A and B are shown apart, each in its own frame.
Chain A
């Protein structure tokens, strides 16, 4: 089941105009500077914001079609979203948070054990660390057994070590989950690490040259070039990179 989205929305300083497609079992990383419209893309896919024009299709199900006047409410789109700042329900224990939308409590338990937070099951979210909260948020999202997983800067508020561990855990799980995962980040290294395809978004538009420029001037340009197999050819090479990773 793939997710495709064509979105057009006038924002305060520019117009967001992007098309993306993500097949199952893959991670599509949307990368770009702050305020470029990345999060708005996720919010529109989730149904939390409405575009001026757009179509969002998950598998054969149309979630949104402004032309056909279709707009499923968020709760009817079978998705889960991991927010940037560890959004958990403060009145529930960590276990109840993970079980919040779970059909199968044993899956919730298995996920918590896998992400090493089972010992925190009776704790309140406020009393555990940021890394543990974000692991709980990922477990909560996965326990819903979503058809699409959206991740909005999921690791940016974490310390480097926790960030690395968590993104490795997510990368390990993507095949097994078998769903499209749309990941948004401003961190190009994170996008290169997680993304099977990378979509650079600047001022609301897909702009491959921005990614190239960023990579060539970055302090760790060598690493970036090595990971992305890029040179000065820009868009062509980015496409090659995406193809090399299975697209």
Chain B
């Protein structure tokens, strides 16, 4: 593999991680808000479902998503009807899978950050005339900046290192779904250790630097996240 082709999987991993992070900050903030401040029916069930990707083997989650997004699955059929193309083995498909897979890594730090906000500050915002939506953007978001940063970094790193789920629903389409972790696996299988080394070192350096930032943030907050 030449230098150019080594960096294509890294670029795809980076794109995937960035897209997943953006989507999960929005979706995770919404779910974390509901869990922190609202009455949620069947809360233990909802929380268990959100956290399921932590406990489930990635291949199991990948299998369910494969069925759901396949040509006979409900989501796959709907997608085909809307866009006249199959969803499986595309970049969009691995983004959707990553959103499910990394969901708890966004929801947990955001929920913890929201719960740390003094309830009376929120009540004061309502008393001063702010609707819940305005209070979210003017009070909750600025007071949970560290939670948002921690969620973004954890989701980004978790997605950069994804393997099983991506392999199940994305396969290894060069330039489309072959992410860095899959490229490392294939390089080792075909005894291209130099390529495996380069990709592994880059991934390790990226992960280490981002975790340093998370720990620095936690130190500032006086509360550790070891996730």
| Complex contacts, B120 vs chain A, CB 8 Å | 83, 85, 87
Question: A85-B120, A87-B120 are contacts. A144–B128 as well, Cβ < 8 Å?
Answer: yes
**Of A87, A90, A144, which one neighbours B129 at CB under 8 angstroms?**
A144
Q: Which of B121, B124, B125 has the largest count of A CB atoms less than 10 A from its CB? A: B124
- CB <8 Å contact, B131 and A75: yes
Smallest CB–CB gap between B220 and chain A, Å?
A: 14
Smallest CB–CB gap between B108 and chain A, Å?
A: 23
Smallest CB–CB gap between B145 and chain A, Å?
A: 8
Asked if B23 lies at the interface with its beta carbon under 8 angstroms from chain A, I say no
CA distance A119 to B139 in the complex (A): 24
| Complex contacts, A48 vs chain B, CB 8 Å | 123, 126-127
| Complex contacts, B143 vs chain A, CB 8 Å | 89-91
- CB <8 Å contact, A74 and B126: yes
Asked if A30 lies at the interface with its beta carbon under 8 angstroms from chain B, I say no
In the complex formed, the residue of B with least CB distance to A76 is: B129
Number of A residues contacting the other chain (C-beta, 8 Å)? 21
- CB <8 Å contact, A75 and B124: no
- CB <8 Å contact, B124 and A87: yes
Tell me if B's interface is mostly helix, strand, loop or mixed: helix
- CB <8 Å contact, A80 and B128: yes
Question: A48-B123, A83-B120, A87-B121 are contacts. A100–B142 as well, Cβ < 8 Å?
Answer: no
- CB <8 Å contact, A87 and B118: yes
| Complex contacts, A134 vs chain B, CB 8 Å | none
Question: A75-B131, A144-B129 are contacts. A91–B142 as well, Cβ < 8 Å?
Answer: yes
Smallest CB–CB gap between B28 and chain A, Å?
A: 21
Asked if A81 lies at the interface with its beta carbon under 8 angstroms from chain B, I say yes
In the complex formed, the residue of A with least CB distance to B130 is: A75
- CB <8 Å contact, A80 and B142: no
**Of B121, B127, B130, which one neighbours A80 at CB under 8 angstroms?**
B127
Smallest CB–CB gap between B200 and chain A, Å?
A: 41
- CB <8 Å contact, B129 and A81: no
Number of B residues contacting the other chain (C-beta, 8 Å)? 15
CA distance A80 to B130 in the complex (A): 12
| Complex contacts, B127 vs chain A, CB 8 Å | 46, 48, 74-75, 79-81
Interface flags, A58-89, vs B, CB<8A=1, else 0: 00000000000000011100111101010111
Asked if A140 lies at the interface with its beta carbon under 8 angstroms from chain B, I say yes
In the complex formed, the residue of A with least CB distance to B124 is: A87
| Complex contacts, B125 vs chain A, CB 8 Å | 89, 100
- CB <8 Å contact, B126 and A89: no
Asked if A1 lies at the interface with its beta carbon under 8 angstroms from chain B, I say no
- CB <8 Å contact, B128 and A100: yes
In the complex formed, the residue of B with least CB distance to A144 is: B128
Interface flags, A97-134, vs B, CB<8A=1, else 0: 00011000000000000000000000000000000000
| Complex contacts, A78 vs chain B, CB 8 Å | 129
In the complex formed, the residue of B with least CB distance to A100 is: B128
In the complex formed, the residue of A with least CB distance to B128 is: A101
Interface flags, B122-157, vs A, CB<8A=1, else 0: 011111111100000001001100000000000000
| Complex contacts, A81 vs chain B, CB 8 Å | 123-124, 127
96-131 of chain B: CB within 8 A of chain A = 118, 120-121, 123-131
| Complex contacts, B142 vs chain A, CB 8 Å | 91
| Complex contacts, A144 vs chain B, CB 8 Å | 128-129
In the complex formed, the residue of A with least CB distance to B127 is: A81
**Of B121, B126, B139, which one neighbours A75 at CB under 8 angstroms?**
B126
Chain A interface residues toward B at CB < 8 A: 46-48, 73-75, 78-81, 83, 85, 87-91, 100-101, 140, 144
In the assembled complex, 15 residue pairs joining A and B whose CB atoms fall closer than 8 Å, in A order, are A46-B123, A73-B126, A73-B131, A74-B123, A75-B127, A78-B129, A81-B123, A87-B124, A89-B121, A89-B125, A89-B143, A90-B143, A100-B125, A100-B128, A101-B130
Chain B interface residues toward A at CB < 8 A: 118, 120-121, 123-131, 139, 142-143
Known: A78-B129, A90-B143. 16 other contacts (CB 8 A): A46-B127, A48-B123, A74-B127, A79-B127, A81-B123, A81-B124, A81-B127, A83-B123, A87-B121, A87-B123, A88-B121, A89-B121, A89-B124, A89-B125, A89-B139, A91-B142
Q: Would you list the 5 A-B pairs with minimal beta carbon distance, nearest first?
A: A101-B128, A74-B126, A91-B142, A81-B127, A87-B120
